[in-house]
Amino acid sequence: MSTPGFPEAFSLKGEVAVVTGGGTGIGLAIARAMHGAGARVVLVGRRESELAAAAGALGAGSSYIVHDVTQLDAAPALVERVAADVGPVTCLVNNAGIHLKKPAVDTTPAEMESVLRTHVLGAHALTSAAARGMIERKAGSILFTASMASLFGIPLLIAYTAAKSAYAGMVKAYATEFSPHGVRVNAVAPGWIETEMSRKALAGDPARRDRILTRTPMGRLGVPSDIGWAAVYLSSPAARFVTGVILPVDGGISVGF
């Protein structure tokens, strides 16, 4: 096996990357970084206006498809449409998700089911659909956006924690099953990242922001591109011997005390 040199080792030229939840936030940051690394990027989400604006900003080599990941039976059709319009999916980023902040005792079974359907069942449906072709071609990369909730307990987030913790196990199980066929499976676990969602969460609560920064050894929040470039690395030839990994990109918060 030949060893790629720099910068080819980090290039995604020739790849077709599907990013769910790709119209905003961390999903868009991942799409932007992958596009910058040479991939043809397909943004997937429910809100066409956001997807159209994001794809327009990225420019040539990007497109979008309106799709709801909770429509589980539609996953194979999405993969087939990408193949017809752009090319076979070679990189899948399972990023779509919903958030629920609520005491555990007040979280209803229906609310729990909704969060798990989006994160876990939706990701599995797309992974199963995309992995078939990857396994046939003996190449591919599947990436999950995990969370600090995959690594330690966070109060008031029982449904979200259950979903993101499931990702930790799914990544390992998929990796052991798919990697013998040349398909790598990994995850990025973002820490506190400066996004519109985090700004809203911390607005008017300076004490909470201070606690976060105090627990973060690097003493600052990350920016979305920190996650984007980590995703590029895990999907690139530079990581061709990396599979089953959950990579924290968190300024050290998961190891700080």
Q: So which residues are the catalytic ones?
A: 160
Strand partners, 184: 141
Helix and strand counts by DSSP (H, E) for the chain: 9, 7
Q: Is residue 43 within 8 Å of 61, Cβ to Cβ? A: no
The Cβ-side half-sphere exposure at 48, using a 13 Å CA radius, reads: 2
Cα–Cα nearest to 74, from 20, 22, 28, 115: 20
| Residue 192 region by backbone torsions, left for phi larger than 0, else alpha for psi between -120 and 50, else beta | beta
- Sign of the Cα pseudo-torsion (200, 123, 171, 142, in order): negative
